[in-house]
Amino acid sequence: MGLQSHKILIVEDELRIRNLLRLYLEKEGFQVEEATTGESALEKALHFDYDLLILDVMLPSMDGFFVTSRIRQYKTTPILILTAKDSEMDVIQGFEAGADDYVTKPFSPREVIYRIKSVMRRKQEVSYEYINYGRRLRLRDFTVEEDHKLSSEGKEVHLTPKEYELLLYLATSPDKLFSRENILQNVWNYDYSVDYRTVDTHIKRIREKLDDISSDSSSLIKTVWGLGYKFEIN
């Protein structure tokens, strides 16, 4: 798919920044649309399909974190957040809300372009096939069937429903960091009978099943100590 068919929504209330981003994005062949508030961003993002959102954290009335979390309830559209310089809390909060990557202000337009292409490339590494109205997910040398069967190198194992849901949740956003809190919210829907140890136990079981069928699975689900987990494609 060429860049000409990639459509990006810029969500930024500062005209100067919107114009700068539009200039560089259109020069790269992207189609560009704009929104200036969180409300208009949500309306567009939920009603139309975009290949990526560039979303400022500091928006009037509705901030970028809330917009990101709302979008994540319905869509997996890649989101690149713009944050204040050296604001580590913004970055962490953005990832927990569901952002895929971030750029700090003031930024280099070339860095923004690089990160956009990087996020899109990671998304394309995970491929879906729709077969007989079912869905098959390919992850590197692994295949995950809709009946929860996981196979590789001619071997197969079966995942429990929750293991299947957790693996898909991580794998469909490759290289993105998920906190345990985020996983509990989105995979267990804040079931108060489970805690962080439940997440760790399920990750351990998925890793064991991956190891059972492949000699090249050790680096798939990475632990980021003190922060959470991420699924690594490369």
Tokens of 221: 């689900």
Residue 17's pLDDT is 95
Q: Which of 58, 92, 124 is the last residue of a domain?
A: 124
Residue 191's pLDDT is 64
Residue 176's pLDDT is 85
Domain membership of residue 113 as a residue range: 3-124
- If asked whether residues 35 and 134 sit together in one domain, one would say no
- The whole model's pTM is what? 0.60
- If asked whether residues 98 and 142 sit together in one domain, one would say no
| Number of neighbours of residue 34 by Cβ within 10 angstroms | 18
- If asked whether residues 116 and 47 sit together in one domain, one would say yes
- If asked whether residues 119 and 145 sit together in one domain, one would say no
* Confidence label for 82 from pLDDT (cuts 50, 70 and 90): very high
* Confidence label for 9 from pLDDT (cuts 50, 70 and 90): very high
Residue 8's pLDDT is 97
Tokens of 178: 């998920």
pLDDT, tens digit, 9 for 90 and up, residues 170-226: 888 888 889 988 898 888 876 666 788 889 999 999 999 988 887 766 678 999 888
Q: Which of 124, 158, 186 is the last residue of a domain?
A: 124
- If asked whether residues 99 and 172 sit together in one domain, one would say no
- If asked whether residues 73 and 95 sit together in one domain, one would say yes
- If asked whether residues 153 and 119 sit together in one domain, one would say no
pLDDT, tens digit, 9 for 90 and up, residues 86-145: 677 888 888 878 888 889 888 999 999 999 988 887 766 554 443 333 466 777 678 888
CATH number, residue 174: 1.10.10.10
Q: What is the mean pLDDT of the chain?
A: 84
Interhelix angle for 196-213 vs 161-171, to 10°?
Answer: 90
Average pLDDT, integer, range 154-159: 88
Query: Which region, left, alpha or beta, applies to residue 39 given φ > 0 means left and ψ of -120 to 50 means alpha?
Result: alpha
CATH number, residue 49: 3.40.50.2300
- If asked whether residues 119 and 21 sit together in one domain, one would say yes
CA distances from 216 to 57, 126, 219 (A): 38, 17, 8
- If asked whether residues 119 and 152 sit together in one domain, one would say no
Residue 66's pLDDT is 92
Examine residue 109 and say whether the peptide bond preceding it is cis (omega within 30 degrees of 0).
no
Residue 85's pLDDT is 63
Q: Are 114 and 84 in contact (CB under 8 A)?
A: no
Average pLDDT, integer, range 66-84: 87
